[in-house]
Structure 1
Amino acid sequence: MADAEAKKGAFRKGGKKKGGANSYLILAWFLVGTAILSWICAATGQPGVSAASVAQILNSPVNGFTSALPVCLFVIVLGGFLEVVGKTGALNAGIASLVKKLRGKELVLIPILMVLLGICGSTYGMCEETVPFYLLLGAALYAAGFDTMTSALTVLLGAGCGCIGSTVNPFSVGVAEAALADMGYDVNKGLVLLLGFIVFAIAEGSAIVFVVRYARRVKADRSNSAMSEAELTAMDEEFGGEKGVASKAGNLTPRQRWVLVAFAISFAVMIVSFVPWSSFGVSLFDAGQKTEEVVTKVKDDDLVSAYADKGLGTLRLDGNVSGTVTTSSVVTPAWSALLTGASLGNWYFNECTTWFLLMAFVIAAIGGLSADEAVKTFLKGAAGILDIALVIALARAISVLMHETGLDTWILNSAAAGLSKVSAPVFSVGSSIVYLLLSFAIPSSSGMATVSMPIMGPLAIKLGFPVEVMIMTYVVSHGIILLFTPTFGVLLAGLAFSKVEYSTFLKTVMRYIVGLAIALIAFLTVMMVVL
């Protein structure tokens, strides 16, 4: 306990006096700014842009919640799951044991964790799935003598720089290549892979150096923490004292050991479940699945009804129309689809929510909690994390409003027109700027590729520039924006877990992000010229 109190004092001594701006207010101002921009564009006659109505502005947070509901629900259930694990005392005891074994070598954890997160980001776009790691690494690195800015940077830059250097990521590189292939354009996938590896090495390597240098300063003298006094107080309350590792530093009991095994299995299954194994030719998790083709007759009334149900308007057809729709139906599910109905590799947030809900009560039983205690503990954790889910929903509202007003498409089309007759260096830098701006509106990597690549890819080919570099320009620019944009709700959620204000985070990391952006854009510009 004395060590925990001493740690609090050391951190607070170096803290700045003021906290940062509230995340909700930051997002609200972005939402208002989006509405104002739509009014300006509509008033000046910009094609395809409509002025945001009062109803659209007021409904956007609710529509954002609807759009982000799977992620929000996952975060809420995750809060309950982690509270149950914490109640058993196993996690704190396990972290204390790890820190004791690594005493004097704690810095080694950071590059190892960042490389692992980076590989996940590069291969399958692990980003939103990193939410729980902000809490887990926050507890571990705080116990090791760092602040939670260190843990936040480890997770964000580790996975984020991996996404920037995507190699076989099916949700960014894969979607972009498929969009061009559907239009009849050939893409040299080997060249895309090589460029991805080089970008990954630059981004991940520089991020590790940046985070380790910061962590070393904080470890040597905790007054070097970039966090404010208010943030450090919140950090101490969350990770120190009675709730912290120091108070649970005893030996692990047999029950706690089994809880940690179940805890590790929970996250291992989550990671495995998100990897699209079929994209890599792996069918292990689909074994046993049998499907059959189902042919359904379609008449004109069916088409009219489908149009109306989708809210696309009234469809009028001249004459009788008929046809067939062929779909694939699962007759026998795969062995790994037993619990959620979807095989591993085909899970998304709904399936992961089900999994963590189940494991919360499995761990409660292993940890010796009564049924009543397990339910109350779970609800306490879920309630405590609701504010973070609301941040994610409000962040999504900005993207919803930009889409409804047509701002996202207008930005893309206007930029493409402006880049139609320029040199390779100008085109490369201009394309990067376009993607940097557009990524504020479209945080989804697959959504961005689907919307933009059919426009920017053919434009690059028409001008005689390598489309492979165009793909990496999109990947890099989009990934850089996700490192700091408040419209990416997972970023603000992770900072909230870490008790770090958004403004403090920006002051700490922005110089690095700008430097990384300049270096990568320069590299891609050279590739655009020489390839």
Structure 2
Amino acid sequence: MTEKKKRSISAYSILLLIIIALAAVTWFVPGVEKATLATIVMAPYNGFVNAIDVCVFVLVLGGFLGVVTKTGALDAGIKTLVKKLNGNELILIPILMCVFALGGTTYGMCEETVAFYALISATMVAAGFDTIVAAATILLGAGIGCLGSTVNPFATGIASSALVDLGVPVDQSVIMILGFTLLVANLAIAIWYVMRYAKKVKNEKGSILSTSEKAAMMEHYSQGDHEKVTFTGKQKFVLVIFAFVFIVMIISVMPWADLIGESAANAIFGWSAFLNGVALGGWWFGELAMWFFLATIIVGILGGLHEKVIVESFVSGAADIVSVVLIIAVARGASVLMTQTGLDIYLLTAAANALNGLSATIFAPLAYLVYIGLSFLIPSTSGCATVTMPIMGPLTASLGYNPAVMVMIFAAASGVVNLFTPTSGVVMGGLSIAKVEYSTWLKWAGKLILILAVVSCVILTVAMTIL
């Protein structure tokens, strides 16, 4: 029995339709600037300008991976790892998901995860799984970490600061306890869900991927015969550098000044500013892009590649990831259009007015639903916190409820939305690297995301009622 050819709309078309739909809404909403044809036409370009730092980072990252792949170190390392696991490959899933979740809950690991999709995809395919498992390991791991933010300065940190600046006290112990509860409960469910599917794929009992997706997966990530492994000392050294580069990336974007204090951060990391003028802890996508560019040169030379081969491999690697860059740019265009027309502020104000005067058991779940809508329209977690919390926080306090719980309602709702929203360049870009169609992701993860949303909503409603 042959499989019917699946016709699915591309990520680009999905995003363009969203931009058009948002523009159309502005014509029926009072008090906002009506979007014009020019607004729609320029949205992708403006999104590119707005996300230029992320786009450059992703391009350089693609070039870096191209050079590392050319050395043969990644293929050899992955084959060796899978051979040593010897049938215990499932253990990779909970370990990696916990690592990504730790990054999410502590410093809001999100855009940086794009750097891991190619590597994890190749590893999971070599282990006998498919790229849905790879995408889920990264996207759910980091996403649930953000959903259960404990000390994440870009989510709970910014939201709490916005309230304190307005004179609204925020109990950080409540945030920590609720964040940890949300993290553990949701991560346990997600790990079970992913491992159950991975075991099914491993046992050849069916993958959700279509024939075309499987073909793309094998073309990009098949490692060949695992028994014939040649892992040279030079390749091992390249992988050590490869790991070091990613460790530095993680350390460099963690807001150490907020976590351990500015003086301590300067004392520990101040020396590192010699590299690009910014000390570790203050890096963002510009500094990260140049860090990977420098690492590309070092890896190429130490990997024994000729200058011409390094350049060609870098250009080829960057070319392979151009589609991801374009997706990120168009996705950001939807957010830019919302800001330009004022539609985001209008919807926020209308939602806050509707919530006024409700009991805790109704207020909490409705606030959660409101934040799901707002997070879809404002995919930037820090941006959403900055815009919404000065309205939602004081409203919560005026009704006699705990503002700290509202902070976590925002974080949890934003975290759930960032697991599937097409307006997120991370979601669409990551799935593109993993060769997974957006419609396939929704079909596979939809039930799980609904479960996570319900579990989070119940926990937050109980907290709003008793705290």
TM-score range (shorter-chain normalised) is over 0.9
Q: Deviations for 1:207-238, whole angstroms, at most 9, x for unmatched residues? A: 111111110111111x5101000100111111
1:433 corresponds to 2:369: yes
Equivalents in 2 of 1:405, 1:112: separation in Å? 44
Pick aligned residue for 1:35 from 17, 20, 23: 23
Cα–Cα, structure 1 residues 95 and 249, in superposed 2: closer, same or farther, change >3 Å?
farther
Q: Deviations for 1:429-482, whole angstroms, at most 9, x for unmatched residues? A: 111111111111211111111111110000000001111111100000011001
Aligned residue for 1:312? none
What is the aligned length? Answer: 466
Aligned residue for 1:307? none
Q: Aligned to 1:246, what secondary structure does the other structure show?
A: coil
Q: Greater CA deviation, 68-77 or 416-425?
A: 416-425
Aligned residue for 1:264? 243
Equivalents in 2 of 1:379, 1:247: separation in Å? 29
Aligned residue for 2:98? 115
For structure 2, the 5+ residue unaligned runs are none
The 5-angstrom pairing of residues 307-386 of structure 1 reads 334-386=270-322
4+ runs of 1 displaced by more than 2 Å?
A: 13-17, 244-251, 282-289
Cα–Cα, structure 1 residues 496 and 15, in superposed 2: closer, same or farther, change >3 Å?
farther
Alpha-carbon contact 2:55-2:328 (below 8 Å) kept: yes
Aligned residue for 1:174? 157
1:246 corresponds to 2:225: yes
Alpha-carbon contact 1:180-1:186 (below 8 Å) kept: yes
Aligned residue for 2:124? 141
Alpha-carbon contact 2:68-2:300 (below 8 Å) kept: yes
CA RMSD of aligned residues (A): 1.5
Aligned residue for 1:224? 206
Alpha-carbon contact 2:375-2:414 (below 8 Å) kept: yes
TM-score, with normalisation over the residues of structure 1?
0.86
Aligned residue for 2:219? 237
1:194 corresponds to 2:177: yes
Cα–Cα, structure 1 residues 245 and 132, in superposed 2: closer, same or farther, change >3 Å?
farther
Alpha-carbon contact 1:92-1:245 (below 8 Å) kept: no
Aligned residue for 1:299? none
Cα–Cα, structure 1 residues 168 and 211, in superposed 2: closer, same or farther, change >3 Å?
same
Q: Greater CA deviation, 420-429 or 156-165?
A: 420-429
| Matched-pair identity in % | 47
Q: Greater CA deviation, 260-269 or 17-26?
A: 17-26
Q: By how many angstroms is 1:15 displaced?
A: 6.9
TM-score, with normalisation over the residues of structure 2?
0.97
1:98 corresponds to 2:81: yes
Equivalents in 2 of 1:432, 1:358: separation in Å? 44
Q: Deviations for 1:238-267, whole angstroms, at most 9, x for unmatched residues? A: 112xxx253794221121111111101110
Q: By how many angstroms is 1:360 displaced?
A: 0.6
Equivalents in 1 of 2:166, 2:153: separation in Å? 18
The 5-angstrom pairing of residues 348-497 of structure 1 reads 348-497=284-433
Q: By how many angstroms is 1:204 displaced?
A: 1.0
Alpha-carbon contact 2:94-2:191 (below 8 Å) kept: yes
Aligned residue for 2:266? 286
Larger Rg: 1
1:86 corresponds to 2:69: yes
Q: By how many angstroms is 1:427 displaced?
A: 1.1
Alpha-carbon contact 1:266-1:359 (below 8 Å) kept: yes
